[in-house]
Chain A
Amino acid sequence: MIFSFDLLINAIVSGILIGGFYAAVTSGVSLSFGILDIVNIAHPAFIILGSYVAYIVNATLGVDPILTAIVMMPAFYVLGAGIYQIYYVSFEKRGQESLRGLAFFFGLLFITEVSLVLYFGVDYRYVEAPYIGPTWHLGVVGMPLRMLVPCVVSLLLIACLQLVLTRTFVGRAIMAVAQDQLALRLMAIDPIRIKRIAFGISIATASLAGAFLIIIQPVEPSVGREYIGRVFAICVLGGMGSLPGAVIAAMLIGIVESLTSTFYGPSWAPAVSFGFLLLTLAVRPAGLLGR
């Protein structure tokens, strides 16, 4: 095979673009798993839910999917806060989150997926938007807008999240809640309320990530499962709870996956993230920018 430089550059660029999308997907897990220590393996299911919400609104009213997602974020926030309340009362309070809490989220994942299958069937769904289709060309590099737009919006989202986490009172309380709940109580803050807010935000990001997903590729209910390994791999690789780390790790995995599918074939790409996950767990469990 003749080594093509153009192909390599294009693979790297599309890897960075897809990495931006992965960062949006991971930001929610970074909050719930990384900071709050809630192993929400149902997160991809909420992303698919976000995709279907964007799809329904787009198909009936023709509204832009990203706009829909931003408008729907409060609804997802409420959903997340509600789920955390159930989780807290049923598992955290009783100290059973390790086994039964995991099973609870696994059940949620399953219920969401099967419900979507029953209601929408297993057909692939897609959305219409002006930026799906055209491609910008910079020399030999092609940047499809359907990848570029989600990547840019996703980086904006993460920048906002990072600002909230480091600059606001609630954000700092969220960072603190995982480290020392007692100290938080001494500051007259209710840790449960803070955790509820954080989990709500984490699910709210799923609304936007879902819109990105359906812009990038057609979606059917079980697509989300492919993201479980990838998302947790990125989260662990970046360092638990570190958003900048998650962005770097997402780009890294995006590039490696893109190179793999360009030079070895797309059917091998899913194995990449798992390889990374195992490597990280074996060599540096704290991740790239871990605490």
Chain B
Amino acid sequence: MRTPLFLVICLAVAAAVFAGAVAVGNDYVFFAGYVILQYVVLSTAWNILGGYCGYVNFGSAAFFALGAYSTVAIYKLIGANDLPHIVPMPVLMLVGGVVSGVVGFGMGYLTLRLRGAFFAIATLALAVVLQTLIVNWDFVGGSRGAYILRPEEVPLIGSYIKYLFLVMLLLAVGSLVIARLIERSRLGYGFATIRDDELAAEASGVPTLKLKLIATTISGALMGMAGAPFPYYIGYLQPSSTFGLDYAVNSIAMPLIGGTTSWVGPLIGTILLGSLQQIATVTISSAVNLLLVGVILVVFVIVAPNGVIGIVHTYWQRKPDDFVGRRRVETDVPGSVP
């Protein structure tokens, strides 16, 4: 399928989703849907580095929070309550994306030359340090947090949450298209060689450091873009919840549960896990839903290493190539040398 056609189909699906949400006529649908869409972006972004290159990022929350706090910084800088009328949301998202992308690049540059585990640990530590910085930065609210006034109405669309939902829907479509585009480009093949055997890739002339830096930057930037509208969604932004472990665990669990080798995986994982969490939060409690995510993650990585895509593929006895329409060698051969 050509990319323009894929884009048109995605947009059509997105339009149908939006129309469906409007048809329900309840604002809760937008609030719940926004969270799921936000996770579509986060898990797709995580998968560009984690799934395609095989480098684990535990700091999704840090990149997400960077995006959110760059919005807060601009909000405080301009000091106007009607910021969205002066600086439109897409610009805020762009700023958030650039900030997170630059931080991702910097951290990648320092740690990606070493073994993969160092990068993973550095991302964990990054979340703690950025949180320390934000807590000590009074301008953006410090540990007290910051209030953001959400505008009531947006012309043409209606309530502000509808607008946020629409923005996030478009970002989700954008990130899926980017992920799919990467997957089928030279870049994607380069990423796959890094994941399969970095030493061999290096020896064959693949510029691995450059490719890894590209992946970290794109991944970080998308996470930052997902975070930028968040202050307007939540209304009150506070460091400990913005840097919460649930963003990190969800953005890892969703791709791993769906399947990491293709753009469909994170989407499937997010829709499954995201809806399950929304249901569990409403019916049981939010702590239990986090426990649920942890247990499902552990069970999936042990029992179904290739996620839902892997299960579907064994069920139908078809090659994953046929299912997702791309060619690559199966990586996880039993007994292969890591």
Residues of A within 8 A of B (CB): 33, 39, 41, 86, 90-91, 93-100, 102-104, 106-108, 110-111, 113-115, 117-118, 222, 225-226, 228-229, 232-233, 236, 265, 267-268, 270-271, 273-275, 277-278, 281-282, 285
Contacts and interface: CB of A to CB of B under 8 A. Distances in A.
A226 B245 CA distance: 12
A110 B245 contact: yes
Contacts of B125: 228-229, 232-233, 273-274, 277
**What 4 pairs across the A-B complex have the smallest Cβ distances?**
A229-B125, A110-B294, A107-B298, A111-B294
Contact of B336 (A95, A103, A282): A95
A106 B58 contact: yes
B275 interface: no
A228 B121 CA distance: 8
B127 to A, nearest CB: 8
A33 B120 CA distance: 13
Chain B interface size, as a band, is: 35 or more
Interface of B: 50, 54, 56, 58, 110-111, 114, 116-118, 120-122, 124-126, 128-129, 131-133, 135-136, 143, 245, 248-249, 252-253, 256, 260, 287-288, 290-291, 293-295, 297-298, 301-302, 305, 332-338
Consensus secondary structure, chain B interface: helix
A230 to B, nearest CB: 8
A229 B338 contact: no
B335 A95 contact: yes
A264 to B, nearest CB: 9
Given A94-B334, A229-B124, A271 B133 contact: yes
Given A99-B260, A107-B253, A229-B124, 20 more contacts: A39-B120, A90-B302, A95-B333, A95-B334, A98-B117, A100-B256, A102-B56, A102-B117, A104-B301, A107-B301, A114-B290, A114-B291, A117-B287, A225-B245, A229-B121, A236-B118, A268-B132, A271-B133, A278-B110, A281-B114
B273 to A, nearest CB: 13
B121 A39 contact: yes
Contacts of B338: 95-98
B305 A94 contact: yes
Contacts of B136: 265, 267-268
A91 B126 CA distance: 27
Nearest to B126: A274
Nearest to B54: A99
7 contacts: A95-B334, A104-B298, A107-B298, A115-B291, A228-B121, A229-B128, A275-B129
Contacts of B302: 86, 90, 104
Contacts of B291: 110-111, 114-115, 118
